[in-house]
């Protein structure tokens, strides 16, 4: 067998071609770039084991170059890219989980702080309520005491219109006059104490005496109501709390059938029911 130069050239070329290794594929380059990028990403710190696995697949793809089969290299490079992406996703997942845990810690601390603050406020409110209760009990005790004192010298009735304190006109005024007696002032001072303790709106209404001229009796009653109101304000009852109501031509409530009343009439101080608008006098009359 003779080897012609042409045949030798062809055989030599074939041998040379078989010696030329596959150097790269686009997919492999992509995998290399992805790995280089992932080394600076969240996967490197948070999931190094997953990234190391990805690197092994990249190395397998590179070793595949020796086979000269680009499809094999591409398939292995594809797997490497997928593994790299998975490692990055797991890295991000670790970071998100850590972020969630940090937030939950802050959440728990903030919730505890708010609960503590709420409990502190609640404790303060309880103390305030207790103080108020003590003060209210004391006020009620004062009210009951002043009422008891008042009840010794005045008639006190609980009617639908409220608490009615009735003082005989002869104990407050000289007959036919509107100037207060000294003893009447003392009694009204105790009425003032009761009104201040009660903190309820009140009106002064004088019942006219039944003797004498009706017109002059009504006029006198109006003046007496004014005097009583002025005196009570002077004793510390607020002007807002008490009014002087004009006398009515016919009695609005039961009046005593006695000579004393016939001669001097009476003075009623009506406190509105406790459930009403306490503290402010309303209704007809001169404020």
Which residues ranging from 16 to 75 are in contact with other proteins (CB under 8 A)? 71-72, 75
Pick the binder of other proteins from 10, 49, 106, 148 (CB under 8 A). 106
Q: Does 89 sit near other proteins (CB under 8 A)?
A: yes
Q: Which residue number, 54 or 178, has a Cβ lying nearer to other proteins?
A: 54
Q: Does 79 sit near other proteins (CB under 8 A)?
A: yes
Tokens 């009204």 locate to 188
The separation between CA 185 and the C-alpha centre of its own chain, rounded to angstroms, equals: 49
Pick the binder of other proteins from 76, 187, 190, 224 (CB under 8 A). 76
Report the distance separating Cα 182 and Cα 171, nearest Å.
9
DSSP assignment of 101-158 equals HHHHHHHHHHHHHHHHHHHHHHHHHHHHHHHHHHHHHHHHHHHHHHHHHHHTTSEEEE
Nearest to 200 by CA among 95, 145, 274, 118: 274
Report the distance separating Cα 261 and Cα 168, nearest Å.
7
Q: Does 119 sit near other proteins (CB under 8 A)?
A: no
Nearest to 74 by CA among 32, 26, 21, 23: 26
**Region of 91-99, 137-145, 263-271, 278-286 interacting with other proteins (CB under 8 A):** 91-99
Q: Terminal CA-to-CA distance of the chain, rounded, Å?
A: 146
Q: Which residue number, 11 or 104, has a Cβ lying nearer to other proteins?
A: 104
Q: Does 238 sit near other proteins (CB under 8 A)?
A: no
Q: In angstroms, give the least distance from the CB of 247 to other proteins.
A: 57
Site for other proteins, rule CB under 8 A: 71-72, 75-76, 78-79, 82-83, 85-87, 89-90, 92-94, 96-97, 99-101, 103-104, 106-108, 110-111, 114-115, 118
């Amino acid at each position: 067998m003779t080897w012609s130069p042409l045949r030798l050239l062809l055989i030599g070329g074939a041998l040379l071609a078989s010696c030329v290794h596959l150097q790269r594929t686009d997919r492999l380059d992509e995998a290399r770039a992805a790995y280089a990028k992932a080394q600076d990403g969240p996967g490197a710190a948070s999931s190094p084991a997953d990234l190391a696995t990805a690197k092994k697949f990249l190395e397998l793809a590179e070793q595949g170059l020796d086979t000269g089969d680009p499809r094999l290299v591409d398939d292995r490079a594809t797997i490497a890219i997928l593994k790299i992406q998975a490692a990055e996703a797991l890295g991000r997942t670790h970071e998100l989980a850590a972020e969630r845990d940090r937030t939950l810690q802050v959440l728990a601390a903030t919730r505890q702080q708010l609960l503590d603050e709420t409990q502190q406020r609640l404790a303060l409110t309880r103390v305030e309520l207790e103080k108020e209760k003590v003060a209210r009990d004391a006020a009620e005790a004062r009210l009951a005491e002043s009422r008891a004192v008042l009840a010794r010298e005045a008639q006190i009735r609980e009617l639908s219109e409220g608490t009615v304190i009735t003082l005989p006109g002869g104990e407050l005024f000289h007959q036919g006059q509107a100037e207060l007696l000294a003893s009447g002032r003392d009694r009204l001072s105790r009425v003032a104490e009761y009104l201040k303790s009660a903190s309820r709106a009140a009106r002064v209404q004088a019942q006219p005496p039944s003797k004498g001229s009706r017109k002059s009796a009504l006029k006198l009653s109006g003046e007496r109501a004014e005097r009583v109101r002025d005196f009570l304000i002077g004793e510390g009852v607020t002007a807002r709390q008490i009014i002087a109501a004009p006398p009515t031509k016919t009695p609005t409530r039961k009046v005593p059938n006695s000579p004393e009343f016939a001669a001097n009439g009476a003075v009623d101080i009506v406190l509105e029911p406790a459930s009403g608008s306490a503290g402010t006098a309303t209704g007809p009359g001169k404020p």
